[in-house]
Chain A
Amino acid sequence: MSVFVWIETLDGAALASSWEALGAARTVAEALGIGVTAIIFGEKSGDIATEAGSRGAAKAIICEADELRRYRLEPCAALVSWLVAAHAPAAVVAVATNRSRELLASAAADTSSGLISEVIDLRVEDGAIIGTRPVYAGKVLMEMTSASATTFVTVRGRAFPAPPPDGSAPPDIESVAAAAIAPELQTEIEDLVAEIGQVNLADAAIIVSGGRGMASNPADPPAELRGEAAAIWKAKDGFANTLRPLAEVLGAAVGASRAAVDAGYIPYEHQVGQTGKVVTPDLYIACGISGAIQHQAGMRGSKIIVAINKDAQAPIFKLARYGIVGDLYEIAPALTAELRKRLT
């Protein structure tokens, strides 16, 4: 028996946050006195298996079949379900991403197993795996366990440290063929358009976010724009020419409040909060964000929060370790200039 960890891959490389799942899987495996088996599908699975070994996986099961070259739910779920039925692992762990969430839920349904999702803490008590997870947008935490032979677990990104490669012996690698278990495909991937050069919010160690205050940009919009259209132009210009340079010097992702997204200042993909992304960076810099409870739900787990706001009474300051009362259009460029001097 072992603990499975699904290493998510993209274009022949492991997703860096997948190694956090391996760390979480090791915690469970060590408590149960068993080893970790990495499950890897797609191109270069063998190379990735070697890296999994160096990070503490005793074994790897790989499938390099053509059907799995690009992630697709049906063949991947069929294969995970088949492997779980054949090996009866104590747990199947993955880092929570759009793909792993649907994959583990599907395989858990196929094998009538319990799934504990978006876990931020894991422990083993009397042989039972217990996960702590946020509910009600993080306003409440719960502990959940599973009675099934295999417990499926997705762990939230940045909740568990990734074990560094330590030169352990290469793992015992087993290669399986997908052809026998790949079902008739019901979906067809037609196109993948990757956003280039954008830092993913969920993985970001530093996030610079903008709110409604982005519209107070002193830059002059084109003369034909009036009212709301002028405000949108000012905010978009601010995200592109004031926040983006600050994010770039920090290697940070750009986030936004719901107010900024709903006003049309920036696309939804950037929204942090209750109906956006929940993030836990080391550093969160909130610029012109008042700190509504919906926004707090998405970022209150950040290690260090910095608030820059004109209004000294803004609720965001209650969450912040450091606060600056001032105009973000003066403070942010000064911060960018100072960081350029001292980080390069």
Chain B
Amino acid sequence: MHVATFTRSTPDTAARVWVDEAGAVTWGDVATVVNPWDEYSLEETIVQAKNGGGESTVIAVGSALHNDALKHSLAMGLSNALRLDEAGADTTDSLVWSAFAAGAIRKLGDVDLIIFGKESVDVGTDQHTAQLARRLGWPLLSCVSRIIAADYAAGAIQVEKTLEQGKQVVAARLPAVISVLKGINEPRYPNFLGIRKAAKARIPVWSAADLGVDLPAPATSALRYFNPPAREISTEMLAGADSEAKASALVDRLFEEKVL
């Protein structure tokens, strides 16, 4: 059996990210990390591959920037890594991304389960997750907070999803695409041996031609990136003789602001 996952390199969560004078998004020389939501999907991929007695593959779509996330994944314990890159392809468009990713899954041929993190923090969406499932014709189980049972021989999975209104138990046939939430597991840290092995790994790069895929024209385009308007805040510190006086002063202000 074979479990696949997708990841990408994104700026460190504590990094300042801004738009420079040329209109490009930058985070200076701060290092990238794996997309924070993917720590959980990488861990779950390792766990599921081990439970099923199979192998695991981590895939990134895009430039060599994403090699760092792939190497981190290998250091954690994923068996294989590969990168999909096509000069001139706009893989920020989710239809292009999902066509490329579906080509890779078809080429691998034996994937039972694809595990995603909840979303990609850089593009701020999970639409590529659902679109990959659609292109493969596989069921999608999003927002999975627990895998209750996975029977790879029988081709069946049962999960608990966490939605806005509560939890839901859903079963599906395999192969399937799932996205997992924080809390599903405790992601491991790469150990020394893993880091050394990952450092030496050569990561294959597949083009669209290698996959026999004609990438579609992008359906969306980014017009411009810009910095959010600065918040004009003057902070009023509320003083008072005791907690009751401070609380009362705050309630006065909240009535004036009409938020109560």
Contact = CB atoms under 8 A, between A and B. Distances in A.
Interface stretch (B133-141, B189-197, B204-212): B133-141
Nearest to B36: A275
Contacts of B238: 322-324
Given A105-B127, A322-B238, A191 B251 contact: no
B13 A275 contact: yes
B22 interface: no
A326 B247 CA distance: 11
Given A101-B130, A130-B223, A137-B121, A194 B14 contact: no
A264 to B, nearest CB: 11
Given A141-B225, A321-B236, A331-B246, A268 B182 contact: yes
Contacts of B124: 117-118, 133-138
User: Main SS of the interface on chain A?
Assistant: mixed
A140 interface: yes
Given A142-B225, A188-B171, A118 B243 contact: no
B18 to A, nearest CB: 7
Interface residues of A, number: 90
Interface residues of B, number: 86
Contacts of B237: 317, 322-325
Interface in B199-253: 216-228, 231, 233-238, 243-244, 246-248, 250-251, 253
A10 B125 contact: no
Interface stretch (A35-43, A162-170, A229-237, A333-341): A333-341
Interface stretch (B58-66, B67-75, B81-89, B158-166): B158-166
Interface string B1-22: 0000000001101101111000
Contact of B17 (A73, A77, A140, A282): A140
B164 A105 contact: no
Nearest to B128: A105
Interface in A307-344: 317-327, 330-331, 333-335, 337-339, 342-343
B122 interface: yes
Given A146-B220, A274-B121, A187 B139 contact: yes
Given A105-B94, A141-B226, A338-B248, A188 B127 contact: no
Given A106-B134, A110-B134, A269-B162, A326 B246 contact: yes
Given A134-B124, A141-B225, A319-B231, 8 more contacts: A108-B131, A114-B219, A136-B11, A186-B138, A188-B171, A268-B181, A294-B14, A324-B238
